[in-house]
Chain A
Amino acid sequence: MRRYFGRKLLIYAVTFFVAVTVDWMIPRFMPGDPIQTMLSRASLRPEANQALQAYYTNVFGLDLPVWRQYLNFWTALLHGDLGVSIWLFPQPVTKVIMRAIPYTLALLVPAILLSWFAGNKFGAYAARRKWLDNTVLPVGYVLTATPYMWLGILLAWLLATVAGIFPIAGGYSFALEPAWSWAFIGSLLRHWFLPFASLFLVGFGGWAIGMRNMIIYELEADYAHYLESLGAPRRLVRRYAFRNALLPQLTGLALQLGVIVAGALVTEIVFSYPGLGYLVLQAINNQDFFLIQGAFLFIIVGVLLANFLVDVVYVMVDPRTRTGMRGGS
């Protein structure tokens, strides 16, 4: 057990280290001067240009030896300092991102958990049931093949523009000020629903198909045939198959996290939802490099934490590792 977690934590530590290094390296070793690129966008007077150039050279620390720059980067990072946003000028990047994180989490966490749960249940139910299987399979494949933003666009168009049931953009009504009132919370929910629904649907299709395929493999396994030949009721066999199929689905969840986060980013862009994705879009349009690099680190840390959570759950769910924990062989 110790070894299992030790190994996992080592991998995560190395990943974090690599990610931070990449984050530091890319602006410095890519062709072209990042500061020039940044300033060329804003057409400034020559004096102002020079002053800003000097300022950013200092901020990036480009006049220091490379190893020193690297160390400084880590020191600043460990103090939670990711630089200053250019788009929202004197605000620190950490603060800007922290403001967006709750919105992104509010979309991601329910979408991931509910789609995983519902998809697995439904996929298991549909497997080897003729007509249900024949409808679930194509629908599921179409859903997983749908790019997140397109489903978002379709929902926004059909339910917001055409039907007018849901608002099309924003995190809450522009007529309201953030406050703990029923009106505000209602508005939050109404704006939350469509982006959530598009994330949920794409995920649902994927998990349903994954589970359906797993169940079919499991029902062909020796233990399932053995149980059947003993005359065990069909439901019991299916229950065993489901529990066995759940473990790889859990590993699959860990592997899909990056894709789902990417999906959340683009979905937020479709709905102008004030989370991390919308921030990234603004950062790209305003050449706000610090903000993008900060967002990158936040995403990495989030995915690493979620991976670790899945590892813990895996150990708790898998009876083989559970016995290992109690000291059995």
Chain B
Amino acid sequence: MTVSDQEDLVAVAPAAPVVTAAPVTSMRAGREALYFARRNRKLVAGLTVVLLFLVVAIVGPLLTDHGPNEYVGPPAQRPSSQYWFGTTMFGQDVFAQFTHGLRSTFLVGLLGGGLAAFIGMLIGFTAGYRGGVVDEVLNMITNVVLVIPTLAVLLVIATYLRVRGVIPEAVFIGLFSWPWVARAIRAQTFSLRSRDFVDLARLSGASGRKIILREIAPNMSSYLFMTFILLFGGAVLIAATLDFIGLGPTEGISLGLMMNNAVLWSALPLGMWWWFVPPGLGITVIVGSLYIMNVGLDEVFNPKLREM
């Protein structure tokens, strides 16, 4: 267990960073990070793309005066000046579906990723800081949830839900995708809790919660942030998978659901590329940019990796 814990952090997810913990000298470190952040091409490019899509998600639906699932035009139209992304087999506007789908994507990522990060931190910090029996129990729970394939559980749950919305979907995703975070944070907390500054805080009578929040968490804040980004991307991918299997939201639209409909209604043999290319491309570009952003962040926070 202990041998590989440190190594696990790196292997778990693409670009999972390794923490190089040193007591924070807050102001100067912040300004230094900002200095390197602005000069990091990967970070800037990734962030720009993600923000661009966010703007499309927010503004896009305002440009069309009809809902994403309304039958507005002639069926199976190629992209034109009137229907920018063409129409589906049933005459729905693909552009309207795409922009509304982007909203769902960001919602699932924020909510699902956020919840997973929260649970993971809660369990990781508690297990790592308390140790002993608490650690044993939490570790067991973590390992069990870690082995169970997230999608399989969601599959069974979603099947029995008659009305499915984007928000419950995000919550369920968050509830089952935290284990690797908990494990990684536990290992980090373990190594931090015997440091002098933590001992000092303990001697001064600070409570466990306060020590975790004020002394331990700030020392891996960059790591926590990067973890959230990875969870965001992961939640988006899981949601797309679930939607594609046919367990997506029963009302509204999502990018995964668009691909599901396209495949279900023979867009592939008919070559209606405008129906299935945008949703997948949207997901790929958003998640890919997030990953590349993370590499950039890693270089900003970890001087060893900076390109000189």
Contact = CB atoms under 8 A, between A and B. Distances in A.
Nearest to A304: B147
Task: Specify the main secondary structure of chain B where it touches its partner.
Answer: helix
B263 A15 contact: no
A149 B283 CA distance: 11
Contacts of A280: 155, 245
Contacts of A15: 143-144, 147-148
Interface string B252-263: 000010010011
B56 interface: no
B157 to A, nearest CB: 6
Interface of B: 1, 3-4, 7-8, 10-12, 14-15, 18, 140, 143-144, 146-153, 155-157, 159-162, 180, 233, 237-238, 240-241, 244-247, 256, 259, 262-263, 268-269, 271, 273, 276-277, 279-281, 283-288, 290-292, 295, 304-305
Contacts, number: 202
25 contacts: A14-B140, A14-B144, A18-B148, A22-B156, A30-B157, A37-B162, A138-B292, A145-B284, A146-B288, A149-B241, A150-B276, A156-B268, A206-B14, A210-B14, A213-B10, A248-B11, A249-B11, A255-B180, A258-B147, A261-B152, A262-B150, A269-B245, A284-B247, A304-B147, A320-B3
Interface of A: 7, 11-12, 14-15, 18-19, 22-23, 26-27, 30, 32, 34, 37, 137-138, 141-142, 144-151, 153-154, 156-157, 160-162, 168, 206, 209-210, 213-214, 216-217, 220, 247-252, 255, 257-259, 261-263, 265-266, 269-270, 277, 280-281, 284-285, 289, 292-293, 295-296, 299-300, 303-304, 307, 318, 320
B271 A144 contact: no
Nearest to B286: A145
Contacts of B11: 210, 214, 248-252, 255
B147 A12 contact: yes
B149 A300 contact: yes
B160 A26 contact: yes
B276 A153 contact: yes
Given A32-B160, A300-B148, A161 B271 contact: yes
Contacts of B295: 137, 141
A94 B152 CA distance: 17
B280 A300 contact: no
Contacts of B155: 280, 292, 295-296
Given A22-B156, A247-B4, A261-B151, 15 more contacts: A15-B148, A141-B14, A144-B291, A145-B237, A146-B283, A147-B259, A150-B279, A157-B273, A160-B268, A252-B12, A259-B150, A262-B238, A280-B245, A293-B156, A295-B155
Given A149-B244, A251-B4, A258 B268 contact: no
Which 7 A-B residue pairings sit nearest by Cβ, starting from the closest? A150-B280, A258-B149, A252-B11, A145-B288, A248-B7, A248-B11, A262-B151
